[in-house]
């Protein structure tokens, strides 16, 4: 077979299985401006990956001449894996493809060409670093700066003030930083902002001081990665070799990312055919990152920009065939979006022939919602032949604090779950601590990490001593260009004054610096080895593990966390990622007309590459946790669930003040409420087969003290459309149940024995026992309940924690360790009844005599509950459960 034949076969493989619109999008000419509007479940990733493969194979564009931006590192890795499968046997070096998040791509460009704008050898300041720098700026104002602030009118100060702050914390760091970030996201420098007539003088001052401090420490914050890169590529033609740019999740792009896209694709000025060739993929209905300054209007802006440039609009292709959700789920989701006044209507077409209405229930509290969810999970898991596993379920909430009540209930019922927490993993105190040590080993002048690690674990340095060391190091850096590492050595030897150290301080500092020297020696040997011959993965992993263990133990962190299993496990997760990390080459083709002198020298440093990857490439905990959590229910915020899907999805909290969120209602802006509506849309379209929606109304305040007394406006407007059911239609008869089994995407499809499972009994007990369950009364749910002729107890005093709810089909791992999470006991205080006895901690029931379960196909009479007072006081107080200690940020 010739190489031409091989290429043709590869192209056929790329196009195989695409529907008409997908194929049209993939095969569009390379010299085009293309917008692919891809609704949820329409094969967006497949189309984008196929488009890249088509450009490589059919248009013969070299991979190093293509830029692909993705929203997360996970998406980039997934795309690379798919491309590798599509291009097996082809002579295409995918390692040359410039793919990643906007931040990672921009940082790579800066690392190579940053010296052209004076930012050579800069590193990334993470969120904690930038907060600390801004705090230092606010606390160390000069007299002139204080005088300037004193002359600012109160109406300019008030929106930025901290109502609980003292004299040194008059302004809220988060509020000021948010304003600075917003300016950078819009491409506005502090010089330009200061010259604007409507600028806020407080923001202007802190913006200037903050940016100056970053530059003094050779740091770029996340916004600077984009801001400085845009400055670089608009001032110098360092990307004039690029022939096509593709942008994923375009609805989540902000203004500066839009400008970056234009300039990425600018091409060479003398070759018009290779200029401004862009493919974007996205869905305006899924734009939910307004708090990051994302703007759905970028679709219109892009269209207008290229229409003005070329005299014609972008080509727009809509993907409407949905391969994920049933038609009832899509109908509900589309009806929700049609509540948005300014939206263009669209209709996704489900490829499933079977469908069931979403189920909705309004309850009396968030605790009842959690009970309602666990009740339905347990019944679904009790279906015969296990068509559903724990990993098929997801619970999606608008705000992270809502998960605590849900987690509490799942733990009580021993339902295994995991949290999709995104970057929260990297913000845990123990993770920050080990990363600080890795940072000071990798870099001489990471002042913030030096000061934080110097006295953690405690080495006897007091706050005043640490402050003196910080000030002296900053002064030495500004006046002499000396790194903090050299400053500390000078302080220890007495060559640098300004810091008083007692004998214990000197001994501690000597040990600290000695540890760094040993670690750096190990790192140098490691880098020499890793940059030499190719070594086996196992050997490389062993070397990295040995280095990491040395750092963890000799730093004192291992001893610090010796009795803290969760913290140690989190550090071990960092080690795992460190061992598995493969550095991404900081490499770009030399731009047309450039010379080797234009490129900055880069020293290979495995550790430095790993540290930068965490901040830049959005180390996506959702990806790794999803992969390793098979057999667990997923609990996530709606934002954290984007791009994921499950067979069964629960969306609780559909109440005014929760979804839409209270701040969106309070600020009264139509766009804010529309974004909340889009959040709801994203949540519902994560569901493949079954969707459960719930709300609650109560006179008691929620977590933030707000009253939740009204059902969400999004739900209220659905009531007239007959899109919601009160019960699950999949259980109404045997035929419906079989249809459910068919759409659950199982291979092979389980076929339950009709003689061993009575669907009428299942359906009737599901409806009749919920009132008892919702009162916190122990209830055993097992497959044996639903066999024709079974002797059914409506409730049972079975020990719930040891019985695993009697689920023979759920395959609950009884080896899951019990967690001590400070859960409160259910204290049920019923009125006197001859069929009940009480103890100080719980309520025990004498099961009433029940008739045998009905034979299938006979009318079922719900069992009566004699002797049980159905007005038993709720077992759960209307307050949020205690925060789970091991999830608390310290």
Three-state helix/strand/coil letters over 538-568: HHHHHHHHHHHHHHHHHCCHHHHCCCCHHHH
pLDDT band at 784 (very low <50, low <70, confident <90, very high): low
pLDDT digit string, tens, across residues 418-429:
888 655 677 788
The answer to whether residue 889 scores a pLDDT higher than 70 is no
Chain-centroid distance of CA 653 in Å reads 20
Query: Which pLDDT does position 706 carry in this prediction?
Result: 63
Whole-number average pLDDT of the chain: 81
Of 291-295, 342-346, 405-409, 531-535, minimum mean pLDDT range: 531-535
Q: Are 217 and 133 in contact (CB under 8 A)?
A: yes
pLDDT digit string, tens, across residues 557-605:
999 998 888 889 889 989 988 888 877 666 777 788 777 777 777 666 7
Q: Can you tell me the distance from the alpha carbon of 212 to that of 640, in angstroms, rounded to the nearest whole number?
A: 34
pLDDT, mean of residues 493-522: 91
Query: Which pLDDT does position 445 carry in this prediction?
Result: 86
The answer to whether residue 215 scores a pLDDT higher than 60 is yes
Of 58-62, 209-213, 833-837, minimum mean pLDDT range: 833-837
The answer to whether residue 25 scores a pLDDT higher than 70 is yes
What stretch of H or E contains 317? strand 315-319
The answer to whether residue 150 scores a pLDDT higher than 90 is no
Q: Can you tell me the distance from the alpha carbon of 319 to that of 40, in angstroms, rounded to the nearest whole number?
A: 9
Q: Which residue has tokens 């050579």? A: 120
Query: Which pLDDT does position 55 carry in this prediction?
Result: 95
Of 165-169, 452-456, 531-535, minimum mean pLDDT range: 165-169
pLDDT digit string, tens, across residues 698-747:
876 554 456 788 999 999 888 777 899 999 999 999 999 999 998 987 77
Residue 43, by phi and psi: left (phi above 0), alpha (psi -120 to 50) or beta? left
Select 427-585+600-616's CATH number: 3.30.1370.30, 3.10.105.10, 2.40.50.140, 1.10.486.10: 1.10.486.10
Query: Which pLDDT does position 847 carry in this prediction?
Result: 38
Q: Tell me the CA distances in angstroms from 252 to 191, 294, 296, 536, 601, one per residue in order.
A: 27, 5, 7, 40, 34
The answer to whether residue 850 scores a pLDDT higher than 60 is no
Of 36-45, 175-184, 192-201, 861-870, minimum mean pLDDT range: 861-870
**Residue, of 62 and 702, whose pLDDT is higher:** 62
pLDDT digit string, tens, across residues 600-640:
776 667 888 888 887 665 434 333 444 444 589 999 999 88
For residues 527-553, one letter each, b for 16 or more C-beta atoms within 10 angstroms of the residue's C-beta and e for the rest, the string is beebeeeeeeeeebeebbeebbeebbe
pLDDT band at 312 (very low <50, low <70, confident <90, very high): confident
pLDDT band at 826 (very low <50, low <70, confident <90, very high): very low
The answer to whether residue 832 scores a pLDDT higher than 90 is no
Q: What is the pTM of this model?
A: 0.80
User: Domain spans of the chain?
Assistant: 3-117+227-319, 126-216, 328-416+631-845, 427-585+600-616
Query: Which pLDDT does position 342 carry in this prediction?
Result: 73
pLDDT digit string, tens, across residues 238-273:
999 999 999 999 999 999 999 999 999 999 888 888
pLDDT band at 165 (very low <50, low <70, confident <90, very high): low
Q: Can you tell me the distance from the alpha carbon of 859 to that of 697, in angstroms, rounded to the nearest whole number?
A: 35
Of 154-158, 202-206, 863-867, minimum mean pLDDT range: 863-867
pLDDT digit string, tens, across residues 343-401:
777 788 999 989 999 999 999 999 999 999 999 999 999 898 889 999 999 999 998 88
Q: Tell me the CA distances in angstroms from 63 to 3, 86, 244, one per residue in order.
A: 18, 14, 10
The answer to whether residue 680 scores a pLDDT higher than 50 is yes
Return the closest-CA partner of residue 448 out of 284, 221, 607: 221
Decide if 3-117+227-319 and 427-585+600-616 have a common fold: no
Beta strands in 387-479 (DSSP E): 393-397, 417-420
Which backbone phi and psi does 83 adopt, to 5 degrees? -65, -40
**Residue, of 708 and 437, whose pLDDT is higher:** 437
Beta strands in 320-388 (DSSP E): 321-322, 349-350, 359-363
Return the closest-CA partner of residue 446 out of 462, 457, 435, 459: 435
Query: Which pLDDT does position 350 carry in this prediction?
Result: 93
Query: Which pLDDT does position 648 carry in this prediction?
Result: 97
The answer to whether residue 64 scores a pLDDT higher than 50 is yes
pLDDT, mean of residues 394-412: 91
Query: Which pLDDT does position 823 carry in this prediction?
Result: 31
Three-state DSSP state, 739: helix
Return the closest-CA partner of residue 766 out of 369, 362, 372, 360: 372
Q: Can you tell me the distance from the alpha carbon of 825 to that of 22, in angstroms, rounded to the nearest whole number?
A: 55
pLDDT, mean of residues 308-337: 92
Query: Which pLDDT does position 800 carry in this prediction?
Result: 34
Query: Which pLDDT does position 887 carry in this prediction?
Result: 39
Q: Alpha-carbon Rg of the chain, whole angstroms?
A: 30
pLDDT digit string, tens, across residues 803-816:
333 333 333 333 33
Return the closest-CA partner of residue 190 out of 176, 178, 203, 177: 203
Give the list of residues 6+ apart from residue 276 with CB closer than 8 angstroms, or none. 33, 262, 265, 266, 267, 306, 309, 310
pLDDT, mean of residues 510-532: 86
- The topology (CATH level 3) of 328-416+631-845 is Rossmann fold (3.40.50)
The answer to whether residue 232 scores a pLDDT higher than 70 is yes
Q: What is the 3-state secondary structure (H, E, C) of 148-181?
A: HHHCCCHHHHHHHECCCCCHHHCECHHHHHHHHH
- The topology (CATH level 3) of 3-117+227-319 is Rossmann fold (3.40.50)
Percent of the chain with pLDDT over 70: 81
Query: Which pLDDT does position 386 carry in this prediction?
Result: 84
């Amino acid at each position: 077979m010739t190489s031409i034949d091989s290429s043709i076969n590869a192209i056929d493989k790329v196009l195989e299985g695409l529907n008409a619109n997908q194929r049209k999008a993939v095969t569009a000419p390379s010299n085009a401006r293309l917008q692919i509007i891809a609704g949820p479940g329409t094969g967006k990733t497949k189309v984008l990956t196929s488009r890249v493969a088509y450009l490589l194979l059919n248009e013969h564009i070299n991979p190093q001449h293509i830029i692909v931006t993705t929203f997360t590192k996970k998406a980039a890795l997934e795309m690379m894996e798919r491309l590798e499968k599509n291009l097996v046997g082809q002579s295409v070096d995918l390692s040359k493809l410039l793919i990643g998040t906007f931040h990672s791509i921009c940082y790579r460009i800066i690392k190579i060409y940053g010296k052209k704008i004076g930012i050579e050898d800069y590193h990334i300041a993470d969120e904690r670093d930038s907060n600390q720098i801004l705090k230092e700026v606010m606390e160390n104002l000069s007299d002139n700066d204080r005088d300037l602030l004193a002359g600012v009118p109160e109406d300019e100060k008030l929106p930025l003030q901290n109502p609980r702050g003292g004299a040194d914390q008059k302004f809220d760091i988060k509020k000021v930083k948010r304003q600075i970030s917003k300016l950078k996201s819009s491409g506005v420098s502090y010089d330009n902002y200061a010259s604007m007539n409507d600028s806020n003088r407080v923001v202007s001052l802190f913006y200037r001081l903050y940016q100056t401090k970053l530059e003094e420490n050779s740091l770029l914050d996340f916004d600077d990665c984009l801001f400085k890169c845009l400055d670089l590529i608009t001032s110098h033609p360092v990307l004039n070799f690029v022939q096509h740019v593709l942008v994923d999740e375009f609805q989540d792009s902000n203004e500066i990312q839009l400008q970056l896209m234009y300039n990425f694709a600018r091409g060479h000025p003398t070759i018009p055919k290779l200029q401004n060739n862009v493919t974007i993929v996205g869905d305006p209905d899924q734009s939910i990152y307004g708090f990051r300054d994302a703007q759905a209007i970028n679709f219109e802006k892009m269209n207008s920009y290229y229409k003005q440039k070329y005299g014609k609009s972008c080509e727009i292709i809509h993907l409407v065939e949905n391969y994920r959700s049933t038609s009832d789920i899509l109908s509900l989701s589309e009806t929700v979006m049609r509540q948005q006044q300014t939206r263009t209507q669209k209709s996704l077409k489900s490829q499933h022939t079977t469908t069931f209405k979403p189920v909705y229930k309004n309850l009396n509290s968030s605790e009842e919602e959690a009970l309602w969810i666990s009740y339905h999970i347990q019944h679904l898991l009790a279906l015969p032949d296990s068509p559903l596993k724990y990993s098929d379920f997801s619970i999606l909430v608008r705000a992270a604090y809502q998960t605590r009540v849900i987690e509490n209930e799942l733990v009580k019922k021993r339902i295994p779950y995991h949290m999709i927490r995104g970057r929260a993993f990297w913000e845990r105190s123990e993770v920050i601590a080990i990363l600080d040590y890795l940072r000071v080993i990798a870099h001489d002048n990471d002042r913030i990490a030096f000061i934080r690690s110097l006295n953690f674990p405690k080495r006897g340095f007091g706050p005043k001593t640490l402050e003196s060391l910080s000030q002296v190091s900053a002064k030495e850096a500004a006046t002499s260009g000396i790194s903090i590492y050299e400053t500390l050595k000078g302080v220890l030897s007495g060559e640098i004054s300004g810091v008083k150290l007692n004998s214990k301080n000197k001994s501690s500092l000597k040990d600290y610096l000695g540890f760094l020297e040993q670690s750096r020696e190990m790192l140098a040997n490691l880098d020499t080895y890793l940059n030499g011959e190719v070594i086996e993965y196992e050997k490389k992993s062993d070397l990295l593990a040995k280095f990491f263990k040395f750092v963890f133990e000799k730093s004192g962190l291992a001893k610090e966390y010796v009795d803290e299993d969760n913290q140690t496990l989190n550090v071990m997760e960092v080690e795992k990622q460190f061992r598995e990390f493969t550095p991404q080459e900081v490499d770009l083709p030399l731009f047309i007309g450039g010379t080797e002198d234009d490129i900055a020298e880069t020293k290979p440093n495995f550790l430095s590459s790993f540290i930068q990857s965490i901040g830049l490439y959005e180390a996506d905990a959702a990806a790794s946790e999803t992969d390793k959590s098979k057999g667990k229910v997923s609990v996530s915020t709606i934002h954290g669930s984007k791009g994921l899907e499950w067979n069964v999805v629960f969306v609780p909290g559909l109440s005014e003040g929760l979804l839409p969120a209270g701040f969106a209602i309070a600020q009264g802006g139509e766009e804010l409420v529309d974004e909340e509506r889009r959040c709801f849309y994203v949540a519902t379209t994560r569901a493949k087969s079954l969707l459960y929606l719930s709300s609650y109304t109560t006179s008691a305040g929620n977590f933030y003290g707000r009253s939740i007394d009204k059902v969400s406006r999004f739900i209220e407007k659905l009531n007239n459309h007959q899109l919601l059911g009160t019960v699950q239609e999949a259980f109404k008869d045997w035929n419906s149940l079989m249809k459910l089994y068919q759409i659950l995407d199982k291979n092979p499809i389980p076929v339950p024995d009709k003689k061993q499972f009575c669907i009428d009994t299942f359906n009737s007990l599901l409806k009749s026992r919920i009132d008892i369950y919702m009162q916190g009364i122990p209830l055993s749910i097992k497959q044996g309940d639903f066999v024709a002729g079974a002797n059914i107890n409506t409730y049972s005093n079975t020990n719930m924690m040891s019985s695993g709810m009697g689920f023979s089909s759920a395959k609950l791992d009884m080896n899951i360790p019990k967690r001590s999470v400070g859960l409160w006991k259910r204290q049920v205080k019923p009125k006197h009844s001859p069929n009940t006895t009480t103890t100080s901690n719980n309520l025990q029931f004498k099961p009433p005599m029940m008739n045998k379960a009905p034979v299938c196909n006979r009318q079922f009479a719900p069992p009566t509950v004699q002797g049980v007072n159905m007005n038993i006081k709720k077992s759960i107080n209307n307050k949020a459960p205690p925060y789970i200690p091991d999830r608390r940020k310290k």
